[in-house]
Structure 1
């Protein structure tokens, strides 16, 4: 499993409100079982707001996941996915300044990752 972080800007406070509202009901063609996110190898996704309007997205994906290839592949899976992307990247979001990559979301450089090794937690030590 791999973990990747991304960042992007919301264009305005109004767009942020629309973004929040849209994410209260993500279509099943995107996030449901067998939806586009599942089909491209994602296993978890979270999006967080860094005020005033910067979004941080973290994904956990299967080994071999390639954001450029696989997010692009997702767009062709269902017209709902393409319409969602058109709304997000056509109206609500803009690239982080200096992002000259092929992706709208800027891939962040990981600095530190930590997770508790299996079987080494405080609960096990106390038992």
Structure 2
């Protein structure tokens, strides 16, 4: 998206990769995030041309990962990458599975290693 600084002072806009500074009267192609565009478009001295950025497809995936981590009792930063969140989720799920298997074994219930976390949780709920 092309951004033009119509003010008499140096201005900065938040892009997907960081702050981009524009000299007075300068125009630049800037990769704005949806949030960055929303904030910058409120400023009368900045002119935008081109299509407004859409919400990143990965954002819904990221929100889903954050929700799953939170359900497992893990707080993760919203600035974490999707790869990092996926790794943390896999580690947390593996740890939860080990703990659930141990709890079920204490109750005399034998389970295989190929069961899902949800199946383990359901089985434990039956024996509580």
TM-score, length-normalised on structure 1? 0.26
Greater radius of gyration (CA): 2
Q: Which has the higher contact order (CA 8 A, sep 6+)?
A: 1
> Normalized per residue, which structure has more strand?
1
TM-score normalised over the length of structure 2: 0.26
Give the helix-richer structure, 1 or 2: 2
